[in-house]
Structure 1
Amino acid sequence: MKVTTDVARCIGAGMCVLTAPEVFDQSEDEGTVVLLDDTPPPELHAAVRRARQLCPSGAISVSDQGDES
Protein backbone atom coordinates (compact mmCIF):
# COMPACT_ATOMS: atom_id res chain seq x y z
CA MET A 1 0.00 0.00 0.00
CA LYS A 2 1.16 3.50 -0.90
CA VAL A 3 -0.53 6.48 0.75
CA THR A 4 -0.45 10.05 -0.53
CA THR A 5 -2.11 13.18 0.80
CA ASP A 6 -3.02 16.50 -0.77
CA VAL A 7 -2.44 19.21 1.82
CA ALA A 8 -4.04 21.81 -0.48
CA ARG A 9 -7.33 19.88 -0.36
CA CYS A 10 -7.21 19.14 3.37
CA ILE A 11 -9.70 21.08 5.50
CA GLY A 12 -8.31 19.90 8.85
CA ALA A 13 -11.29 17.79 9.94
CA GLY A 14 -8.93 15.34 11.66
CA MET A 15 -10.83 12.17 10.80
CA CYS A 16 -7.64 10.60 9.47
CA VAL A 17 -5.80 11.18 12.75
CA LEU A 18 -8.66 9.73 14.77
CA THR A 19 -8.88 6.68 12.50
CA ALA A 20 -5.19 5.90 11.85
CA PRO A 21 -2.96 7.90 14.21
CA GLU A 22 0.04 5.73 13.35
CA VAL A 23 -0.16 6.97 9.76
CA PHE A 24 -1.59 10.51 9.97
CA ASP A 25 -1.09 13.58 12.12
CA GLN A 26 -2.09 17.24 11.85
CA SER A 27 0.23 20.20 11.59
CA GLU A 28 0.16 22.41 14.64
CA ASP A 29 0.22 25.58 12.53
CA GLU A 30 -2.59 24.96 10.03
CA GLY A 31 -4.25 21.77 11.24
CA THR A 32 -3.73 20.12 7.88
CA VAL A 33 -2.77 16.50 7.36
CA VAL A 34 0.79 15.32 7.97
CA LEU A 35 1.63 11.91 6.53
CA LEU A 36 3.73 9.94 9.01
CA ASP A 37 4.03 6.69 7.03
CA ASP A 38 3.45 6.51 3.27
CA THR A 39 3.85 2.71 3.21
CA PRO A 40 2.09 1.47 6.34
CA PRO A 41 2.32 -2.18 7.40
CA PRO A 42 -0.51 -4.56 6.45
CA GLU A 43 -2.12 -4.45 9.89
CA LEU A 44 -2.90 -0.74 9.33
CA HIS A 45 -4.30 -1.03 5.79
CA ALA A 46 -7.94 -1.32 6.88
CA ALA A 47 -7.63 1.77 9.10
CA VAL A 48 -6.00 3.76 6.28
CA ARG A 49 -8.76 2.78 3.86
CA ARG A 50 -11.35 3.83 6.45
CA ALA A 51 -9.56 7.15 6.94
CA ARG A 52 -9.68 7.71 3.18
CA GLN A 53 -13.43 7.03 3.19
CA LEU A 54 -14.05 9.36 6.12
CA CYS A 55 -11.99 12.26 4.77
CA PRO A 56 -14.55 14.95 3.86
CA SER A 57 -12.24 16.71 1.42
CA GLY A 58 -10.85 13.66 -0.39
CA ALA A 59 -7.29 14.60 0.53
CA ILE A 60 -6.13 10.98 1.01
CA SER A 61 -5.25 8.63 -1.85
CA VAL A 62 -4.32 4.98 -1.57
CA SER A 63 -2.83 2.66 -4.17
CA ASP A 64 -2.45 -1.01 -3.41
CA GLN A 65 0.71 -1.57 -5.47
CA GLY A 66 -0.36 -5.11 -6.21
CA ASP A 67 -0.86 -6.29 -2.63
CA GLU A 68 -4.01 -8.12 -1.63
CA SER A 69 -4.48 -6.69 1.87
Structure 2
Amino acid sequence: MRVTLDQDKCVGSGQCITAAPEVFDQRDDDGISFVVDPDPPATSIPEVEQAAAVCPALAIRLLG
Protein backbone atom coordinates (compact mmCIF):
# COMPACT_ATOMS: atom_id res chain seq x y z
CA MET A 1 0.00 0.00 0.00
CA ARG A 2 1.21 3.48 -0.88
CA VAL A 3 0.10 6.41 1.31
CA THR A 4 -0.14 9.99 0.09
CA LEU A 5 -1.34 13.14 1.80
CA ASP A 6 -2.39 16.29 -0.05
CA GLN A 7 -0.88 19.03 2.10
CA ASP A 8 -2.92 21.68 0.29
CA LYS A 9 -6.09 20.04 1.63
CA CYS A 10 -4.77 19.31 5.13
CA VAL A 11 -6.35 21.39 7.91
CA GLY A 12 -3.92 20.25 10.62
CA SER A 13 -6.41 18.46 12.84
CA GLY A 14 -3.87 15.76 13.72
CA GLN A 15 -6.36 12.89 13.49
CA CYS A 16 -4.01 10.98 11.19
CA ILE A 17 -1.21 11.16 13.73
CA THR A 18 -3.49 9.93 16.48
CA ALA A 19 -4.57 6.97 14.32
CA ALA A 20 -1.20 6.07 12.79
CA PRO A 21 1.71 7.89 14.47
CA GLU A 22 4.28 5.66 12.78
CA VAL A 23 3.10 6.80 9.34
CA PHE A 24 2.17 10.49 9.82
CA ASP A 25 3.64 13.55 11.54
CA GLN A 26 2.95 17.30 11.66
CA ARG A 27 5.14 20.25 10.78
CA ASP A 28 5.97 22.39 13.80
CA ASP A 29 5.49 25.74 12.09
CA ASP A 30 1.93 25.36 10.77
CA GLY A 31 0.60 21.97 11.94
CA ILE A 32 0.18 20.58 8.44
CA SER A 33 0.60 16.81 8.35
CA PHE A 34 3.00 14.85 6.19
CA VAL A 35 3.73 11.19 5.48
CA VAL A 36 6.73 9.76 7.31
CA ASP A 37 6.43 6.26 5.84
CA PRO A 38 4.72 6.21 2.41
CA ASP A 39 5.05 2.40 2.21
CA PRO A 40 4.04 1.19 5.68
CA PRO A 41 4.20 -2.49 6.63
CA ALA A 42 1.09 -4.62 6.28
CA THR A 43 0.66 -4.60 10.05
CA SER A 44 0.00 -0.83 9.89
CA ILE A 45 -2.74 -1.01 7.25
CA PRO A 46 -5.70 -0.95 9.70
CA GLU A 47 -4.33 2.18 11.40
CA VAL A 48 -3.64 3.90 8.08
CA GLU A 49 -7.14 3.07 6.84
CA GLN A 50 -8.52 4.55 10.07
CA ALA A 51 -6.43 7.69 9.56
CA ALA A 52 -7.85 8.12 6.05
CA ALA A 53 -11.39 7.55 7.32
CA VAL A 54 -11.19 10.17 10.09
CA CYS A 55 -9.36 12.87 8.09
CA PRO A 56 -11.80 15.82 8.07
CA ALA A 57 -10.26 17.21 4.86
CA LEU A 58 -10.14 13.86 3.03
CA ALA A 59 -6.48 14.62 2.32
CA ILE A 60 -5.18 11.04 2.67
CA ARG A 61 -5.16 8.63 -0.26
CA LEU A 62 -4.33 4.93 -0.13
CA LEU A 63 -3.08 3.34 -3.34
CA GLY A 64 -2.75 -0.34 -3.95
TM bucket (normalised to shorter chain) is over 0.9
Structure 1 runs, 4 residues or longer, greater than 2 Å off: none
Aligned to 2:27: 27
Aligned to 2:9: 9
Instruction: Tell which structure's C-alpha radius of gyration is larger.
Output: 1
Please list the CA deviations of residues 25-63 of structure 1 after superposition, one character each: whole Å capped at 9, or x if unmatched. 000011001110000000000100000000000110001
Identity %: 41
Coordinate RMSD, CA, aligned: 0.5
What is the TM-score normalised by the length of structure 2? 0.97
Aligned to 1:49: 49
Distance 1:9 1:34 in 2: 11
Gaps of 5+ in 2: none
Gaps of 5+ in 1: 65-69
What is the TM-score normalised by the length of structure 1? 0.91
